[in-house]
Structure 1
Amino acid sequence: MKPGGIMVIPVGSDSQELYKVKKDSEGKIYKKRKGGVAFVPLIGKYGFRKGLEC
């Protein structure tokens, strides 16, 4: 991630937590837990094709 970048990512497999990760202009990384989530993969006509699931 380049300096100034922000990611919001689910972390975990069964029990997931949402994290906001930021990188400042000096390269220091800050992360903050935002709470529990359940990631649901997009499937169907506009989602992942069979065999390409995450």
Structure 2
Amino acid sequence: MELVPGRSLTELPTGAREDALARPLVPAGAAFLCAALLWATAAEPIGRPAPLLQR
């Protein structure tokens, strides 16, 4: 099936790069990992739990 005569669907348009879709995924993946690490460390309690009050 060809939409444009002489061109296949998998052929890139003129001026397009093969990695144009993958390049934005690198900073997005790094930002996701940073956010996940920040969330994981912020969710942990810091230090010892407070002692229970004895009455």
Q: TM-score range by the shorter chain?
A: under 0.3
Q: Which has the higher contact order (CA 8 A, sep 6+)?
A: 1
TM-score normalised to structure 1 length: 0.18
Radius of gyration: which is bigger? 2
Structure ranking higher in strand proportion: 1
Structure ranking higher in helix proportion: 2
